[in-house]
């Protein structure tokens, strides 16, 4: 990647941030993925506070991506393949507002794209129920503690990672192989 390449941010919540981080770490065009917290009222929350469900924050990932390589729309299409956006405040056994599905947009353009993708997903009847993903402006984002960063990469044999994160990574690899970093692009 050359210096001066374009960069944009995307902030997404779709259950445990370890799951989203593990997938987006492999996505072509994503330059960095940082697990964190957004959408709540407590300044500088800790993992323990967020897990208690009293801060209003969701576990999120904040992506830095190159829009010349991957669009925000494609990032959202991946987002909707790796979590269930129809369950309110829940992903599998992870229950609470901290596990809600949300797109924290950084611009009006991102808001419009998010609303368009959700409408397309709902009208195509991919899901058995309507999408409950909230679309809301990002007000504050707080990076999670260091031990949460690259969690799956550093703890892939941990039971939660094997039972929950690994299947999502495998699904991404199977369904979206051409979008994986290092995939053959037919040139350069």
Is the per-residue pLDDT at 5 higher than 90?
no
The overall average pLDDT reported for the chain is: 90
Mean pLDDT on 151-157: 91
Contacts of 180 (CB under 8 A, 6+ apart): 26, 27, 28, 172, 173
What contacts 24+ positions apart, CB below 8 Å, involve 115-124? 116/73, 117/73, 117/76, 117/77, 117/80, 118/85, 121/80, 121/85
Mean pLDDT on 50-79: 96
Is the per-residue pLDDT at 148 higher than 50?
yes
Mean pLDDT on 25-48: 96
What is the pLDDT at residue 186? 43
Question: Yes or no: is domain 8-179 CATH 3.40.50.2300?
Answer: no
Q: Would residue 16 show up in a list of annotated catalytic residues for this protein? A: yes
What is the pLDDT at residue 144? 96
What is the pLDDT at residue 93? 84
4 pLDDT band (50/70/90 cuts)? low
Of residues 16, 19, 51, 161, which has the active-site annotation? 16
Domain boundaries, the chain: 8-179
Mean pLDDT on 106-114: 98
H or E, element range at 135: strand 134-137
Is the per-residue pLDDT at 131 higher than 50?
yes
Mean pLDDT on 50-55: 93
pTM of this prediction exceeds 0.75 = yes
What is the pLDDT at residue 15? 93
Q: Which residue has the higher pLDDT, 92 or 71?
A: 71
Is the per-residue pLDDT at 183 higher than 60?
no
Mean pLDDT on 125-139: 94
């Amino acid at each position: 990647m050359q210096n001066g390449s374009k960069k944009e941010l995307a902030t997404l919540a779709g259950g445990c941030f370890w799951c989203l981080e593990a997938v987006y770490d492999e996505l072509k065009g994503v330059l960095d993925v940082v697990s964190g917290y957004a959408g709540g009222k407590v300044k500088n929350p800790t993992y323990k506070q967020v897990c208690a469900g009293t801060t209003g924050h969701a576990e999120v990932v904040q992506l830095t991506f190159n829009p010349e390589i991957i669009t925000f729309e494609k990032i959202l299409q991946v987002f909707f393949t790796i979590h269930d956006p129809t369950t309110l405040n829940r992903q599998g056994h992870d229950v609470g507002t901290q596990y809600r599905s949300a797109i924290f947009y950084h611009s009006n353009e991102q808001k419009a794209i998010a609303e368009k993708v959700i409408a397309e997903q709902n009208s195509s009847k991919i899901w058995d129920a309507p999408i409950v993903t909230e679309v809301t402006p990002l007000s504050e984002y707080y990076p999670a503690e260091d031990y949460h960063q690259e969690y799956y990469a550093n703890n892939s044999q941990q039971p939660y990672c094997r039972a929950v994160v690994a299947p999502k990574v495998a699904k991404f690899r199977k369904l979206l192989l051409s979008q994986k970093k290092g995939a053959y692009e037919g040139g350069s």
